[in-house]
Structure 1
Amino acid sequence: MNFRQIECFRAVMHTGSMTLAAAQLHTSQPNVSRAIALLQRETHMKLFERVGLRVVPTPEAHALLKEVDRVYVGLESIGAAAERIRTMGVEGLRIAVNPSHGISPVPQVLQVFRGMRPKVPVVVHTADSATICKWVSSRYCDLGLAAYVALPQEVSSELVISERAVCIVPRDHRLARKRKVVPADLAGESFISASPPDVARAAIDRVFVPEVRRLEIETSLATTMCAMVARGLGVSVVSGSVIRELQLASVHAIAFEPAIQFDCYVIRPRQQPEQAVVGDFLQAVRIVARENENAAKKRINRSPA
């Protein structure tokens, strides 16, 4: 017997008619009759008797239908499982991000991603870039957003966002009226710095003469740096996107030169299959990257010469 014969048998049993069964299966009545005849021959059972113009199931047919329906319930559950995996992913989406990327751009990306996959569970882990690459390489996380690429032989990477640094000062600070700040302007200022090892910390350190800054506070979190500046504890240099996302009324951001970039790389397992939801998340990342790039161009065009 084959699946088509079982399908025709079930349709006849549930509709009570070969004609109605044929309409339900989008085929002809002779095709249904032929399938039933073959099924009876192969099972060596009489499944229907004709009474006038009707076909009446035998007790054997009713007994067989119980088994057939049980199989169909299993097939329907498999179909439901396939749809659930397609729409929600294998076990949801697990991503690893730097703390600063957790402020921006991750919330924007998740907002776009939710429009694509509203029901996919998402777990966001925060860690340094080296740990992010390790987690992605080991498949603990599906992908990561990191400030730099570690383990280049084990992961693939794509630079998606490069945000220019800004100097942040308290709103009433003496530098708040300036349109641009250079390292010499921060001479004698209490400077709140990222903790080493940090790729942005190293880039910032290179542009300062050691004695210019007073390195009095170090922290690993950009949010903490901004909150400390808001409390008047010092000044700092952070990613422009972070301070825009936080929108702290008591903190003022000023253009900083020379240019220092805060990079965001997408980290993925090298040469390994990915579930479909990862592709949608990457699409959301690229959408946000384009939006941020266009917004940055508009800010530059509005800036006074």
Structure 2
Amino acid sequence: MNFKQIETFRSVMLTRSMTVAATQLHTSQPNVSRVIAQLEKEVGFPLFERVAGRLAPTEEAEALFRDVERAFIGLDNLRDSARSIRRLGTGTLRIGAAGSIAMSVVPLAIRAFGAVYPDVPIVVHTGSSATVAKWTATHFCDIGLVSYTSDIPGVDITLLRQENGVCVVPGTHRLARRRRIRASDLDGERFISLPYGSATRLATDAAFDPDRRLLTVETPFAATICTMVNMDLGVGIVNPIVTRSLKLPGIRAIPFDPAVEFRSYVVRAPQFPATRLANFFLECLDEAWTLST
């Protein structure tokens, strides 16, 4: 497949119309139909079908479109970077971050960074730790901030912070005045958990008797757990940096026993030289983390 086919496919997916796509691409509707037919032959499965007279993508088309969009995000970043270099003489600072870090200390670091470099654009890409590491290895991001390490070749990993998790409960909860909460104290409580498969989830699960914990919700973001706890939907174990940053008045963050370690790492690609801007952002991040402690 070639770029023209992919561009045409993307336009049809976004507009749900070959006629409108043809207008956007400055070509004819028959030409769009011909290119889509060629692409279907290349990939070996149908991309569109007519349903009640309307153009509808197949499930295979939707799956392909997700990967196409990721590729076009990269192209858009290149265009933004070129405009920035033309205007400012410097490129965009691209940061990849796991959700718990992106929603807590990263905004504080961006504020400090912007006070010194107000004209430097910053793009924050949020994903799983494994995804962020891959982004950094390929230089899609200048810096990666992750919650756990994975076997990704081509990156250097440095421990940024290590803290013990806290149990978050509503401020009106029966345990809200405790100085420490033990796993047995949560017997029968609705529990909101990080998703299965992460290192932190495994450590959290190990602290509980699986027959006595009521697991009701899973979510990849600690900030979401805190918001749900604030709405009295349950309790959870999270990285304390999240509770300190969110400062939700309706929850209490209480030390938890046994200890569940939460670690944060900086990921860098050694084959790409570190930029002055990236190094300064890490200084801002370290300062933000210290101030939030």
TM-score by length of 2: 0.67
TM-superposed deviation, 1:243 = 1.4
Partner of 1:130: 130
Is 2:148–2:199's contact at 8 Å kept on the other side of the alignment?
yes
**CA deviation profile, 1:116-168 (whole Å, cap 9, x unmatched):** 32211000010000000100011111111001222453101111122321111
Partner of 1:283: 283
Distance 1:122 1:97 in 2: 13
Percent identity (aligned): 38
Give the total of aligned pairs: 209
Distance 2:112 2:162 in 1: 19
- Counterpart of 1:258 in structure 2: which amino acid? P
SS at match of 2:165: strand
Partner of 2:210: 210
Is 1:147–1:265's contact at 8 Å kept on the other side of the alignment?
yes
**CA deviation profile, 1:168-201 (whole Å, cap 9, x unmatched):** 1111111112110010110111111111222221
Question: Given the superposition, is the C-alpha separation of residues 248 and 82 from structure 1 closer, same or farther in structure 2, using an over 3 Å criterion?
Answer: closer
Distance 1:151 1:224 in 2: 27
Distance 2:178 2:242 in 1: 20
Within-5 A mapping of 1:117-156? 117-156=117-156
SS at match of 1:114: helix
Partner of 1:61: none
Partner of 1:201: 201
Within-5 A mapping of 1:54-203? 84-85=88-89, 89=90, 91-203=91-203
Partner of 1:54: none
Note if 1:265 corresponds to 2:274: no
SS at match of 1:100: helix
- Counterpart of 1:170 in structure 2: which amino acid? P
Question: Given the superposition, is the C-alpha separation of residues 215 and 288 from structure 1 closer, same or farther in structure 2, using an over 3 Å criterion?
Answer: same
Distance 1:130 1:287 in 2: 25
Distance 1:231 1:290 in 2: 29
RMSD over aligned Cα atoms: 1.9
Note if 1:250 corresponds to 2:254: no
TM-superposed deviation, 1:252 = 1.5
SS at match of 2:277: helix
Is 1:167–1:235's contact at 8 Å kept on the other side of the alignment?
yes
SS at match of 2:133: helix
Is 2:95–2:143's contact at 8 Å kept on the other side of the alignment?
yes
SS at match of 1:210: coil
Partner of 2:225: 225
TM-superposed deviation, 1:289 = 3.7
Distance 1:287 1:246 in 2: 17
TM-score by length of 1: 0.64
Where structure 2 has 5 or more consecutive residues not aligned to the other structure, the ranges are 1-84
Distance 2:170 2:287 in 1: 33
SS at match of 1:107: helix
Where structure 1 has 5 or more consecutive residues not aligned to the other structure, the ranges are 1-80, 296-305
Partner of 2:29: none
- Counterpart of 1:97 in structure 2: which amino acid? A
Is 1:134–1:151's contact at 8 Å kept on the other side of the alignment?
no
Higher Rg of the two aligned structures: 1
